[in-house]
Structure 1
Amino acid sequence: MNEKRILLAEDDLISAKLFQESLTSLGYQVTLAEDGRKAKEIFTETPFPIVITDYDMPEMNGIELIDFLKDEEDEPIIIVLTNHSETSLIIEIMKKGIYDYIVKPIDTEELSLKLHRALEIYNMKRLEKATKREREMRLESHLDWIKWKERIGGSGNFKNLNQNLFESLKTSFNQGTGFGALISLLEIVSDSAQREGNFYKIDSEIMELIKLNADMAGKALTTFADIERILNGKIELEKISLSDVYNEIKKLTTNLSPFLSIQNNHLYLSERKPSFENNEININKKYFIDALTEIIINAFKFSVPESSIHIVIYIEVKSFVISIYNSPVINSDRVEGIPLPFENIVFEPFFRLTKFVYDEYKTLDFGLGLTKVESIIKRFNGKIEIKNIFDHLTAKSTPKTKVICRVALPLV
């Protein structure tokens, strides 16, 4: 379904047609309604992301239409058109909880900016609502988070976490790319190398492969050592205000934006909340950014081309929550996103849902990235989950799969 759809309620036919042309030139699909009552009928049949309504209309005026739309489950972003510029009237309109207002005559450039931001906010709200609904559906089906909480275990229990991690690594060590390949290559060298005096002569291509895999194995061991350092509590934490954390996240999104051009994706960050000023979390800034970088790059790598990635940040039940949403690709095994059976094992060392290497993103692609991310979040006494959710918000369309990576860090 085209997200750039607008329902326009305007009783002046000439003004409505002119406005429709302006909106169409900006790339929006516009449906006209001659008054509030007709707009109500159209919206009831097919909800719209954005509704622009005139203030003065017969039958059902703009205020009455707003009251109806605010009570709808699929509440749109509402913008009011008015000929009036009196402060008292504008305040009355804004008290209704609408997104914005536009005083006629309309400035096309101003309108374009407002509509672009309105769509961003609509998509953020839709993702939040989809997440909430998915959570309710899981609880109703007895698929709650008990198993996930058991896996996370008690906060600060680094000794047990460390032991479990290394036991898993022992099992996986020789199966990972780099380690297993090195063993195979060394066997080939042992069988095929020709001795010439005090030296052995081997094929140059085999040597290049050995160097490549040795480099990968070295990087994996460095990551491995980093994980051990994190789990043993050998990193210092500091209290940082959520406002500063938000600034760091915003800076990170700017730094990572060049990667968006690889698949023509788009990245959106929710707005700063006033409550961020008076709250803090206890983290190590460097490792926090490392973890978030891994998560965001993963969203870039495994998203459908030309799709959007949304980062939604908010406070919920004494926790600072960062939710990252993306539209997942279907891999070669016909797996879409992170289905339920994979929700826990994606954090296991060397586990990968796809065997492709993504050189353009400059990542290790070794299966240790999320293992490190999880160890960082646990060190901060936080929780992380990655799973599929389904957008059931539009009754007349097929639910779409989204992947959500949700990080919750306790406020201090």
Structure 2
Amino acid sequence: MIPHSLLLESQHTDSLANTLKEIGYTFERVKSLDDVTKTLEGGKFHFFIFHITDVENGEAQKQLTELLENYPQTLIILITDSTKWDITATLLKQHKVYDFIQTPIDLSHLQFTLDRSFQYLLTKQKSQLINEAENHLYKRMVEIFDWKKSLSHKENENIAADIIHQMNINLFQGSGIGTLMSVVSILISKSKLDLEGKNYSIPKPVMDLLSENYEAAKSMFDSMSISQSVIDDEMVVKNLDSPTKLLSIIQTETETLNEALNIKSQKINLSQIPASVTGKKIHFDEAKLSYVVREIFLNAIKYSREKDIIYLIFFHKENFLELKVINPAYQNNDGTNGIPEKYESFVFEPFFRISSVVDDSYAKFEQFRFGLGLPLVKKIMDQHQANVQIYNIENNFRNENTKDICLTIRFPLIEEEK
């Protein structure tokens, strides 16, 4: 994943913007500290980067403290020089900034610092989630091995039940292997041998059920084959093409998913690609990007409700083309809404699920299953040297005080050779 940065614009950070472009990192700029909070509320940034001259006064440092408290998942990186070591040391000591970059900015040192900081951020998020999972496991163990509860309820559970539950979700819940086995069992019990003992007769409803679930199981194995091909493919996409080619992929996949949209009378609203990207190119593999578009559309469709509108919007920002897929956020089984902040990076890990509910209505459209959808989307985007994130945002499309889920892909833009 490519880190996404928010850069406080000044004469001292112009060279940094050019260096970030050179190493292919995505970023956005704000003109003042007062704009930072609003921008952080409307998007997801791994780093906030500014020059030390912009935080020398007390009011600016107070704002910095508020940002640190309100946005702990955004690391603060300081640009400094040898004349400001006293302020730099103070900010580092007070943990108001995570790391610093000294001017003149060296490309390799900048990339090393940001990469190292990004790994720290991911590790921090993972440790928080693991701690929560350990607490949950501990509570489960107490419940299971509490002898009083065991005597009163004759409970016969064990931790392995959780593992079996996950296997059931990934392989056997809903139509597919499990149901196919059930139908075969019915087929055997309901079929009748003729008088000559040579042929079996099968009731038509049983045969129809068998055919239906055979197709569902076949679709499951097809998706496993596609997933395996993506997992095994380590090639970085070298081909370049116009960003406008994305529109034909989106159009094709929208038509393919029309039946899926009709299940809950949903609609997709698509914006145009900004004219400002004319003459620029992106890394482009049509087949792989088709997989990505299908998966992110299906995610939005499955987790939206009746008559919801799904928005797909393009933006040209700095050195990248941004594609946002936005759909309403609803309550999860655990009481959280949409994509809780603590899960934002983990939804891209294999087999991770916020909800364990499987909806068979969309099974025939899926090319990735078993909790591999977003992990494979991330892998494909990595191969395109692009960034993908998913997070909650404030609702700006509907006149309601609610949140939306926003999946954002950022394609680095490459100048077309003349």
User: TM-score of the superposition, structure 1-length normalised?
Assistant: 0.49
User: TM-score of the superposition, structure 2-length normalised?
Assistant: 0.49
* Higher RCO, 1 vs 2 (CA within 8 Å, ≥6 residues apart): 2
